[in-house]
Amino acid sequence: MRFSEKLTMTNTKHKKGHLAPAFLRNSFSGMHIDSNISRYVIQILFAVMVGALAGLGALFFHYMVEEMRIFFNSGPFQAGPNKTTWLIALVPVGGAIVIAGATAMFPDTAKEKGVVSVIKALLIKNGVIPLKNTLFHMFVSVLSIGTGAPLGPEGPVAKIGSGVGSALSRWFALNRETVKVYTAAGAGAAISAVFNAPIAGVFFAIEIILLNDLKNEALSFLIISSIVADIISRAVLGNEPIFTFPDYQTIHFFDFPWFLLLALLCGLLSLLYFGTSKTIKHLLDDVLSIKNPFMRLLPVAVLFGIILLRFNDIFGIGYTTMEKVLNNGLPPSEVAWLMILRILFLALFLQAGAYGGTFAPAIGIGAMFGFLFATTVNSLTGASLDPVAFSLVAMGGMLAGINSIPLTSIMLVFELTRDFRIILPLMAASIVAYIVVTYIKGRTVYAQALLEEGIDIEAMGEVDLLGKIRVNRLMIPEVDTVSYRMPFNVLLQKLLRSAYGEVCVVDDNNKLMGVISLKGVRQALITNELVDLLVAADLVTPVQAVTPADTVSTALRNIKKYDIENIPVVKSTTDNEPVGILRHHDILDAYNAMLEEWETDRFLATFQKNK
């Protein structure tokens, strides 16, 4: 269907109601809050609830993946210590069959994967993440990682946590800006729980999910949700770190040139990963033109299963392998092969259609690369670099390079190691690797991924694309108006019969004064005992209307500013007579239609220019 056809259809759709149970909506939206302190306390309690449920969801995911790892590392799949039977080769194949089947059955839901889909939901869907999407991605991600794919948990658990925050916010009928905050808080809380890293969880929500666009009030709720999730995680999993490592020698001033060289190489190795991923994508999409989920994923799973017969340490997330490397449990040649294979299969599985993240793989690759760097320098120069220290620092460098998250990388590795001695080289490595990657690529990995979906966050993101549409193309040329003199009882009946849930209030000259919504009437019923004496003028909310010649992006900003569902449209800037309304969900429908159409807009032009 063409964009113009979808644009026409948006004017004929009916407004969707809340999917929340009525008793939940009424219990929260009907609550009378008579002070800022009361409101803040309620928001804190809500942040606690989001953190608790997001943390429990992340722990359930962790439990399922860990149980599958234990199962496939014992019994008929193992012939002895570090020895596998041929049955292990069938595990990723079986997982791939189920995953490809789920992808084929639910193609639209399958597309909304990973952290990028959460960011996109905040940018263009006001934080709305359907619960079915959350459940689908939890199921397929558990299967992907549990059956061996060398992927990380952060993408799936961020999806779980943000889905929890979004669902709770919508069930309690919170406004759209608050939904965004708790969606981000849920994602951060889930990261906090799965990595046992509450500070990193907060930075994850700020740096990635909110794209560093943080309101001061929101910070408190992000912190509270992450703390609650981490408390639950420690209560269930204990206070032990994810991996252990031996003590290492003190870091000296003369080690820093080597750390800076390591950081530079981490950036270059990250670029090698991106190049590998891009080549695989080009091969699958353009050269072979493989669209079928089975044909994309099964060959990768078969190849991976064969490799597992020799290199079993690339199975799954890889925390055990990291611990072996840090404790000098593997020879350098084995570590080199494992690092190469992890980079290759990380790119292969993600491009072939598996589900998972890149945080844990990047940390694992960093541990191996730091170990190889230190041992190589020692053998070539006679230096005495400590492989453990360089492995820990390289974790942050690779995490920042592959994921474009310098601050989150610093805090996550610091919380995982709980060692302050590495903080200075860790900060340097994370920042330098990040700079190398962004300088050469021109933008962060998430900015690039969003650009490929038509969203240029460096050029105002979600509203800029809507600047191509005028209000007159989406507006409904009919409007419910009432006189500012209308008595309350008559006004209430008019509102209840209104097709759009809001009415425009006009003066004696039929000029717009503002709008009245059912929400405003409900508040009046709660706070005013003499409602029968009220008239429309007592309840009106002044709003800044738009004209048919204004851009839809202007209308969207006004809708967010006044927290309304429909924005009045007036004749012109000099004539304030209402001539129609523009509905918020029509704007979203039009935006999604433009994304599917891939019209020649500024985003696509910029993308093609930089390819």
Quick one: angle between helices 154-171 and 176-195, nearest 10?
Answer: 140
- Domain closes at, from 462, 489, 513: 462
Looking at the structure, tell me whether residues 515 and 563 fall in a common domain. yes
8 Å CB contact between 443 and 458: yes
Q: How many independent structural domains does the chain possess?
A: 3
Residue 521, domain CATH:
3.10.580.10
CA distances from 252 to 248, 385, 414, 464 (A): 12, 10, 19, 50
Is residue 103 included in any domain, yes or no? yes
Please indicate whether residue 102 or residue 519 has the higher confidence score (pLDDT): 102
Looking at the structure, tell me whether residues 178 and 32 fall in a common domain. yes
Looking at the structure, tell me whether residues 121 and 209 fall in a common domain. yes
Is residue 270 included in any domain, yes or no? yes
Confidence tier at 493 by pLDDT (50, 70, 90): confident
**Phi-psi category of residue 75: left, alpha or beta, with phi > 0 → left and psi -120 to 50 → alpha:** left
Q: What is the pLDDT of residues 115-145, one digit of tens each?
A: 888 988 887 777 888 889 999 999 999 999 9
Looking at the structure, tell me whether residues 296 and 274 fall in a common domain. yes
Cα gap 73→67, rounded to integer Å:
10
- How much helix, strand and coil, in percent to the nearest 5, is found in the chain? 70, 5, 25
Q: What is the pLDDT of residues 74-94, one digit of tens each?
A: 777 765 555 667 888 999 999
Q: What is the pLDDT of residues 565-574, one digit of tens each?
A: 889 999 998 9
Looking at the structure, tell me whether residues 305 and 196 fall in a common domain. no
Is residue 482 included in any domain, yes or no? yes
- Domain closes at, from 173, 204, 237: 237
Looking at the structure, tell me whether residues 543 and 564 fall in a common domain. yes
Looking at the structure, tell me whether residues 262 and 375 fall in a common domain. yes
* Global confidence as pTM: 0.74
Looking at the structure, tell me whether residues 313 and 456 fall in a common domain. yes
Confidence tier at 610 by pLDDT (50, 70, 90): very low
Confidence tier at 558 by pLDDT (50, 70, 90): confident
- Domain closes at, from 206, 237, 268: 237
Paired with 567 in beta bridges are 582
Q: What is the mean pLDDT of residues 17-41?
A: 53
Is residue 77 included in any domain, yes or no? yes
Q: What is the pLDDT of residues 415-463, one digit of tens each?
A: 999 888 899 999 999 999 999 999 999 888 988 888 777 676 765 444 4
Looking at the structure, tell me whether residues 322 and 424 fall in a common domain. yes
Alpha helices in 10-89 (DSSP H): 22-29, 36-72
- The range of the structural domain enclosing residue 454 comes to 255-462
Looking at the structure, tell me whether residues 207 and 306 fall in a common domain. no
Is residue 504 included in any domain, yes or no? yes
| Average pLDDT along the chain | 85
Cα-Cα-Cα-Cα dihedral sign, residues 216, 221, 224, 226: negative
Residue 84, domain CATH:
1.10.3080.10
- Here the tokens at position 420 are 């302050």
CA distances from 420 to 79, 122, 199, 238, 328 (A): 41, 35, 15, 21, 22
The pLDDT value recorded for residue 562 is 82
Q: What is the pLDDT of residues 157-166, one digit of tens each?
A: 999 999 999 9
Is residue 412 included in any domain, yes or no? yes
Is residue 13 included in any domain, yes or no? no
Q: What is the pLDDT of residues 459-483, one digit of tens each?
A: 544 445 577 688 999 999 988 899 9
8 Å CB contact between 436 and 264: yes
Is residue 611 included in any domain, yes or no? no
Looking at the structure, tell me whether residues 275 and 209 fall in a common domain. no
Looking at the structure, tell me whether residues 228 and 359 fall in a common domain. no
